[in-house]
Chain A
């Protein structure tokens, strides 16, 4: 097997810097235009409610495809072979399509005064407590998810410019702060569309080129058949990478979702629920206009293109493993390990041009997700806590407070990544994804459609989900013997469902008159 020979040439440094800076400048300009159009704090949050299917579709792709999909997927394919496919998200289109179907009803709550996802819960349950509890859970889970975005951007910057990983982290944080500070929802919706197009085109291109670079599909499959699992740091095993499950030794190995078919089932359920459960995803519908049936099909086509982008990036990881064997799992590639596969392949297979475009695409994916999440977290504070407690606070103060609050929500995950970067980023952020899927699919997604849901059902689900989050096999789960990711994921998602439905049935829903306002007769027309 060859070694990834690579040097950060001046051409590459200039190419990557130009691509990333150009991407950021275009994004910031679009964000600035969006901000200028926003006449009030509310406009800044949800735009003008006039966003069409093209923009909404690509914005959804951009917020869904994070550093996990656009970058980490190659690390999964590289480190785990075919069993990495479960976290690569071969079935992610199922979940995004479900989000398209369910998320559209957010518009109804915008008309009733909701401007954030937790506010939708306040309107749905007439409960400020439900709003505040959901906002708190979002902040906790989104901080964890943000860590992966920082690692993706910093790895790309570090590898291509020969800057240290830690300086790269700091630089990317400044980029993100600048970008979000001038953006806002109206801006980021347009920016996200631009980013969605960019990362779709680059992801497909890199994936296809990588297959040819590695000698074709069959050569990659043949090579993976001969590979065995190597843990980050270089510990060799005799466990083959050729299967769709990877029986890693217990107890630590059980924390990998692809370890057996129970883990596989858990990861499939996660992908089915998480697109709707991600607050930064479903929030994309807050600014959307009325969509026709034809336009719905257009949105499906767009998100299908996006979901296959994630699979192409996974393909890059398989190609890298076929060509370089297990080299990237050795200590000399710490702390990036297999996560660096995609950027090395882009350099080796497509030179400066492809590497620069890929760097910009990774920034696009990470920044779009991070931007959406930071906005959610900041507005959780201003809109869902401050405005909740002190409704007379002026919109101007809320707007500035939101901008200021962005700083800690960028700094906290930055510090986390700085002090303990996760070895395989996708595996790490999947923990937060399961929690968001388990909690918010029901609390937000199902509550928009199920009249019998109650605020106590929603609140109990949030608390249950947060407790289960602490019991992740790589957190405190092992202290009670919970080592298996699959069992944990099922306990999280099915347990959340059980708590949500059981507590809702046991408590009193809103009055019939109030529910009629939220679920008007004839609004849904079965034909």
Chain B
């Protein structure tokens, strides 16, 4: 289950990156502008979740 969730989250990261030009193409103007920023924020949250949950490093 944990591995599945990890895989889904990594896939979500790729999807969020690929969705950026799609958002720009479909939404236009400010919706696209802030929409891309929102996608980047989601990307950051998922990435830090992956780091702290699955790839945490101890000294």
Contact = CB atoms under 8 A, between A and B. Distances in A.
Interface string A73-103: 0000000001001000011111011101100
Contacts of B36: 85, 90-91
B12 interface: no
B45 to A, nearest CB: 7
Interface string B31-55: 0111011011101110110011111
Given A82-B33, A268-B20, A525 B43 contact: no
Contacts of A85: 24, 32-33, 36
Given A82-B32, A93-B44, A297 B57 contact: no
A511 interface: no
B58 A525 contact: yes
A272 B17 contact: yes
B58 A523 contact: yes
B33 A93 contact: no
B17 A94 contact: yes
Main secondary structure of the interface of A (DSSP, over half): helix
A268 B40 CA distance: 11
A524 B55 CA distance: 6
Contacts of A98: 47
A221 B59 contact: no
Contacts of B16: 94
Interface string B18-37: 00110011001110111011
B6 to A, nearest CB: 9
Interface stretch (A10-18, A195-203, A303-311): A303-311
Contacts of B55: 101, 524, 526
Contact of B52 (A220, A243, A297): A297
B56 interface: yes
A101 B54 contact: no
A416 interface: no
Contacts of A300: 44-45, 48
Contacts of B32: 82, 85, 244
Contacts of B33: 82, 85, 90, 311, 314
Given A91-B40, A297-B52, A300-B48, A525 B57 contact: yes
A90 B53 CA distance: 27
Contacts, number: 106
A121 B42 CA distance: 32
Given A92-B40, A93-B43, A105-B57, A244 B48 contact: no
A299 to B, nearest CB: 8
Nearest to A308: B37
B59 A90 contact: no
B28 to A, nearest CB: 7
B24 A264 contact: yes
A97 B47 contact: yes
Main secondary structure of the interface of B (DSSP, over half): helix
A94 B17 CA distance: 8
A505 interface: no
A453 B1 CA distance: 32
A93 B40 contact: yes
Contact of A96 (B21, B44, B52): B44
A74 B34 CA distance: 16
B30 A97 contact: no
A94 B44 contact: yes
A91 B47 contact: no
A176 B34 CA distance: 35
A36 interface: no
Interface in A280-334: 290, 293, 296-297, 300, 303-304, 307-308, 311, 314
B58 A304 contact: no
A527 B48 CA distance: 15
A296 B53 contact: no
A371 to B, nearest CB: 26
Question: Which has the most chain B C-beta neighbours within 10 Å: A93, A98, A100, A265?
Answer: A93
Interface in A91-127: 91-94, 96-98, 100-101, 104-105, 107-108
Interface string A418-458: 00000000000000000000000000000000000000000
A525 B59 CA distance: 11
A415 interface: no
B57 A268 contact: no
B16 to A, nearest CB: 8
A221 B29 contact: yes
Given A85-B24, A524-B57, A304 B44 contact: yes
Contacts of A400: none
A104 B57 contact: yes
Interface of B: 2, 16-17, 20-21, 24-25, 28-30, 32-34, 36-37, 39-41, 43-45, 47-48, 51-59
7 contacts: A93-B41, A108-B59, A244-B24, A293-B56, A296-B48, A297-B52, A523-B59
Given A92-B40, A300-B44, A527-B53, 20 more contacts: A82-B24, A85-B32, A90-B20, A91-B36, A91-B43, A93-B41, A94-B16, A94-B17, A97-B48, A217-B30, A220-B30, A244-B25, A244-B32, A268-B17, A268-B21, A272-B17, A308-B37, A525-B57, A525-B58, A526-B54
